Chains A and B, each alone.
Chain A
Amino acid sequence: MSHIHDHNHPHDHTEPPEDIELRVKALESLLLEKGLVDPAALEALIDTYEHKVGPRNGAQVVARAWSDPQYRRRLLEDGTAAIAELGFSGVQGEDMRVVENSAQVHNVTVCTLCSCYPWPTLGLPPAWYKSAPYRSRIVIDPRGVLAEFGLTIPADKEVRVWDSSAELRYLVLPERPAGTDGWSEAQLAELVTRDSMIGTGLPKAPGAAA
């Protein structure tokens, strides 16, 4: 299993040196004093990404694709336009590509060179997605990494890793869980996890939905 822990324990990722807060304050104060940034804009940006953008957006896209075969087709043909139909677009999702899991292929995404991630549909990336362990290992040992997330892919099924080295941003369309016939889009969206749209997880099983 992965090293899952809560916030009462030290993180595996590196803690910043003591003076980082002072460095940030110095730069921010200087930019404000020089009039190069607007404090109200800074607050608006923080609010957007803390409260308005996140993986529930992507879950709506997936639930729509599971419910509407014509939407699914549009989503796979032109991800950017189909995602924009639901009102999600813009920074770090300007050009979207949706890749569909099937009986033959399990997709998983990474950015080995930096930490590119589809912000409009998934929000800002979790720390592990940006970390050296994930970025180094998922391309060379995808099955080992997926096993740490509790995911075992059959030996004869292709694990297809998408390294987003250009300006395309990838979203995984997971397979619709069995036993959800007749479910509404809102019910289906509850099954869609962030990790299932990265490819390091699967949607929740119907019985497990809260």
Chain B
Amino acid sequence: MNGIHDLGGAHGHGPIAAEIDEPVFHHDWERRVFPLFASLYVGGYFNVDEFRHTIERMDPAHYLQSSYYEHWLHAFETILLEKGVISAAELRGTATPTASAQPATVLTADMVEAVVLGGASARAAEDVPGRFKVGDRVRTKNLNPATHIRLPRYARDKVGSIEIVHGAFAFPDSMAHGQGEQPQQVYAVRFSAEELWGVAGPDTVCIDLWDSYLEAA
């Protein structure tokens, strides 16, 4: 979707505010929000693409006014409510919490190390052939779905070249909408600053893109 999250190339957001000796979490509430991701992910309540798309659907003004971990909190609340895992009354404290309808997988402390070190690769179990090889010139399609997509707006309808062939990965555009992995090849596609921004010079941007976002150029 052409959402507020798609920030590449926007102007007016101000200088970078780097901090010296920045703490891992700035507030205790951020520390409380952070571990809910792994716990709820392992519980099977969402995949990472659903999670990202839920953040993308935030009110644009609220998105810009809120910090990263508030985005996470918004996503947890929204997904769990939409999927009926919790109710609004339970969350408000006006209804007594009821037990989960389905038996849930609960991430327990003894599982944490294996989950952290193992992760959850989105790489497809079996390779899927792609249409392009290193050095091929490609044009990104001018795609503007209202649904989830990982082709940034600043790189639509632009010509670049295949820099790296990464292998086959689950397709976020389907994963975010309950339509399964539908794996495709992913490529790092290199674009000149001149192509993206009309600026001469040696600089480039490499963007990781799925096969179906591209056509031969």
Contacts and interface: CB of A to CB of B under 8 A. Distances in A.
A112 B206 CA distance: 12
B8 interface: yes
Interface string B177-217: 00000000010101000001100011111111110000000
A91 B120 contact: yes
A162 interface: yes
B70 to A, nearest CB: 6
Contact of A160 (B25, B169, B204): B204
Contacts of B113: 44, 48
Interface string A158-178: 111111111110000000000
Interface stretch (A61-69, A127-135, A180-188): A127-135
Given A37-B106, A37-B107, A124-B24, A4 B18 contact: yes
B161 to A, nearest CB: 13
Interface residues of A, number: 86
Given A166-B169, A167-B169, A27 B119 contact: no
A48 B112 CA distance: 9
Interface in A23-64: 23-28, 30-31, 33-38, 40-46, 48-50, 53-54
Interface string B41-78: 00100000000100100000000111110100100110
A163 B8 contact: yes
B14 A133 contact: yes
A126 interface: yes
B207 to A, nearest CB: 5
Contacts of A45: 34-35, 38-39, 112, 116
A113 interface: yes
B121 A167 contact: yes
A136 B10 contact: yes
B38 to A, nearest CB: 6
Nearest to A166: B208
A136 B15 CA distance: 11
Interface string A118-159: 000001101110111111110110110100110000011111
Contact of A161 (B31, B150, B201, B205): B205
Contacts of B18: 2-4, 126, 128, 149
A190 interface: no
B34 A6 contact: no
A131 B112 contact: no
A127 B19 contact: yes
A92 interface: yes
A113 B5 contact: yes
A164 B106 CA distance: 30
A103 interface: no
A20 interface: yes
6 contacts: A14-B67, A45-B112, A90-B118, A127-B68, A133-B17, A166-B169
Interface of A: 2-7, 11-14, 16, 20-21, 23-28, 30-31, 33-38, 40-46, 48-50, 53-54, 89-95, 97, 110, 112-115, 123-124, 126-128, 130-137, 139-140, 142-143, 145, 148-149, 155-168
Given A27-B76, A97-B164, A168-B166, 6 more contacts: A7-B19, A89-B119, A90-B116, A95-B123, A110-B8, A132-B13
